[in-house]
A and B are shown apart, each in its own frame.
Chain A
Amino acid sequence: MSERLTADVAIIGGGLMGCSAALALRRMNLSVVLLEQGWCGAQASGVNYGGVRRQGRPVVQLPLSQRAYAIWQRLPQLIGSDCEYTVSGHLKLARSEAELASLEDYRGQADGFGLQLEILGRAALRQRYPWLGGKVAGGSLCPGDGHANPRLVAAAFALAARNHGADLREGTIVESAVFDGRQFTVCAAGGLEVKAKFLLNCAGAWGAKFAEQFGEQVPEYPIFPNMWVTEPMPKLVEPNVGIVGGGFYVRQVARGNFVLGGGRGTGQLAIASTRPDSAAMFASMRMACEFIPALRNALVIRSWTGVEGALPDHQPVLGPSVTTPGLFHAFGFSGAGFQLAPAVGEVLADLVAHGATATPIEAFSIGRFSAAS
């Protein structure tokens, strides 16, 4: 069986990046064929922690993150669902005066980006969050940050893109992608061939593999964030909570379940090969219970992990290819892509339609790796 399609834009990868790009492109009336090896949003986009957070991001990401923040506010109009997006605030805890100083330092760096960070000392923190335990020196609150349900977001973007006329092909494994100087030809298993003027590499943990087909070497490696969830508990913790240096992160959803993460699971780049790690779960349990003692009484009902693409400098690759005109990359978000994704889709659509975007993305250029080698 063979099938030939032609589109303005071909997209490899039906994660949140690819799906939001597909929707943004359709809103500009460009034709789109998206190729996803499994189900749209079933990999990192669907199984991540669900933090919708600007606080703590490197300052170079903040313009992109702010653009995303604006889109998150109008999800229902854009994709027909709020995807359980909750503006709960994001609280980052500090255990020592040195850690608190680092939070204050960050507030200075992020000044002017609109995060409205509030530094809280030990006493203020305890008063505002009586559930807090452990040795806390202080914290930083970003009131506009929050969380959402990752299982719903990519699926909703995919559905919206489809309803806007994007051709989404699930269960379609891309075998090769080439550029003949004029257009791209993407071949998938099962005999599907797509010709397009533009190609978006939104392949997540598999992104470097496709970049390599165009002569671009990227030192991407897979990570497997370890996550677990408790049974529903009485409402207690409002903000999405993290800690300086990582170790654990936790949010309580509307139904009462606590969703927690920390440490790494195991896996490979094959779909469904990832496994959560018990020892990592125990370590994050210990740390989470130190700061939220009420969690000790909970039962964990499920743990999981998924595969995400990471890069050594923890910055994504986002922007034009340096070898191939019409090819744009968006992958390797290093475990922090969920909040950015709606803006990444728009940026990619800008690049396709106008050859440029108003959002600064130079720091994410794929050229930074070829230049270094």
Chain B
Amino acid sequence: MNEPRIVIVGAGPAGVRAAEVLAAAGLRPVLVDENQRAGGQIYRQPPAGFVRSAKQLYGFESSKADALHRTFNKLRSHIDYLPETLVWNCAGRQLDLLGHGRYQSLPYSLPYSHLILCTGAIDRVLPFPGWLLPGVYTLGAAQVALKAQGCVIGSRIVLVGSGPLLYLLAYQYAKAGASIAAVLDTSSFSGKLRATFDLLKQPLTLAKGLYFFAWLRCHGVKVVEGVEKIAVSGEQKVKAISWHQNGREQTLECDAVASGFGLRSETQLADLAGCAFEFSQLNQQWLPQRDLAGRSSVKGVYLAGDGGGIAGADAAELAGKRAALALLEDLGKTIDLREGRRLDRALQRMQGFRRGLERAFPAPVAWARECADEEIICRCEEISAGELRRAVNHAGTLEMNRLKALTRVGMGRCQGRVCSAAAAEILACSAGKSLAEIGRLRGQPPIKPFPVAVGVALSPARETS
């Protein structure tokens, strides 16, 4: 039998732990990652030479971050590591790569026998008036600025949206010395209370969330719950934000806004790898099918971490290990079955907590109904909510790919990574269908823009006749 060629995509918690298990079994996986340094988004490392400590960067999670980075450093000589490398296509059991800088010379395609996709997540973006003004960021981007560069996004910052990242980021920003003018939570206190039973399944995590909340209150940060009708105003950049609470409008001056409404799995590579998808009620998203261990519907392709369904960093570490164990088992190696079962149980417990989070921080249900016709949904192609609704009402569009074909939504630089969640909500709401019924955008390569000049360089010169 040929040597397995194992490729892991993504060097976050899931990818690093998967690599660790495989290396311990004497295999040498290739670990491909877009970032300069390992750690993923949550344990992102600043460029070498930056001086903020792990404690400053990761707070409560600093020991986990340290542990993951240490594991990775020990692994380096036992794996083939390709940082700053984008996997932009997956076809015929090979990955097409785009390297940067000193990795430019790497071969552009990488065949695999086994593939572990640890592709992580991206903010769920729901447009609101003013969301395209300079100075409006996603929560994730605002966090990247802090972790990678030690920057904050403004001098008077409002954080808005839903989900645990809202409070975590507020805490991290405030601790770093940023001025937080307000934290506006679109979920309600009562919703969080109803979710307590599920959230108690991870009491430590729940305690941390409550701590952030209390800490912010104690330090005089304005926290408003049950916020509706967010609107950012300004001419060339953000000047103020307004919202409704209990039917009353309020306005606050600010120069930067970060917003986010939960996270969405990055599933493009799984799609191109041919994985079957199913609609996840919990995630409100079409996700690649997988068994508890992370096996997809395609033999030899595995999913771990937030890229296969949002469960957070702790779950990602466990899922990375679990997928690697499944891979070893599929290779016919003897694995520690007890360890496998332990991981399965832990991952199941975390799913319970995750249900609680969804109940505590639901995506705003009325959003699609209230979104104004003139609101731009797809910023790459400048497609408004009204144009999407017209495609439903006039042309009878009932499916996401038809909506894309007729309106161009999701056809621009982001290929739907940013806009498809909002577009799907508008389509479902206008058509009176569920998100499951309208289907999902079919992925096409490249999953991120690819320079024509590189394609030219990779093409053999034309023979002269």
Contact = CB atoms under 8 A, between A and B. Distances in A.
B395 interface: yes
A336 B16 CA distance: 50
A298 B452 contact: yes
Contact of A296 (B89, B413, B456): B456
A304 B89 CA distance: 12
B395 A303 contact: no
19 contacts: A39-B402, A41-B405, A42-B405, A151-B406, A155-B395, A230-B452, A277-B91, A278-B109, A282-B458, A285-B456, A286-B455, A286-B459, A297-B452, A299-B451, A300-B446, A300-B449, A301-B413, A302-B411, A303-B445
Contacts of A39: 399, 401-402
A303 B444 contact: yes
A272 B89 CA distance: 17
B395 A296 contact: no
B412 interface: yes
A231 B449 contact: yes
B444 A302 contact: yes
B461 interface: yes
A282 B396 CA distance: 38
Given A230-B452, A231-B449, A299-B452, 8 more contacts: A152-B406, A155-B402, A255-B381, A278-B108, A282-B458, A289-B453, A295-B452, A300-B451
Given A39-B399, A275-B91, A303 B459 contact: no
Interface residues of A, number: 36
B446 A301 contact: yes
- 9 tightest CB-CB pairs across the interface, nearest first? A282-B459, A299-B449, A285-B455, A286-B459, A151-B405, A282-B455, A296-B453, A286-B456, A298-B452
A273 to B, nearest CB: 10
A278 B456 contact: no
A152 B453 CA distance: 30
A295 B449 CA distance: 14
Main secondary structure of the interface of B (DSSP, over half): loop
A283 interface: yes
Interface in B429-448: 442, 444-446
A296 B450 CA distance: 11
B415 interface: yes
A177 interface: no
Interface of B: 89, 91-92, 96, 108-109, 381, 395-396, 399, 401-402, 405-406, 411-413, 415, 442, 444-446, 449-453, 455-456, 458-462
Contact of A272 (B91, B442, B450, B458): B442
A75 interface: no
Contacts of B412: 231, 301
B444 A276 contact: yes
* Residue picked from B92, B406, B460, most chain A C-beta under 10 Å: B406
Nearest to A158: B395
B406 to A, nearest CB: 6
A159 interface: yes
Given A155-B406, A272-B442, A304-B444, A282 B413 contact: no
Interface in A18-67: 39, 41-42, 46
A142 to B, nearest CB: 26
B405 A46 contact: yes
A52 to B, nearest CB: 18
A231 B412 CA distance: 7
Nearest to B412: A301
Interface string A144-157: 00000001100100
Interface in A338-364: none
A281 interface: yes
Interface string A287-318: 10110000111111111100000000000000
A12 to B, nearest CB: 21
A332 to B, nearest CB: 24
B446 A303 contact: yes
A255 B91 CA distance: 30
A298 B442 CA distance: 24
Given A151-B405, A285-B455, A302 B462 contact: no
B445 A297 contact: no
Nearest to A230: B452
Given A151-B406, A155-B406, A299 B459 contact: no
A283 B459 contact: yes
A72 B395 CA distance: 21
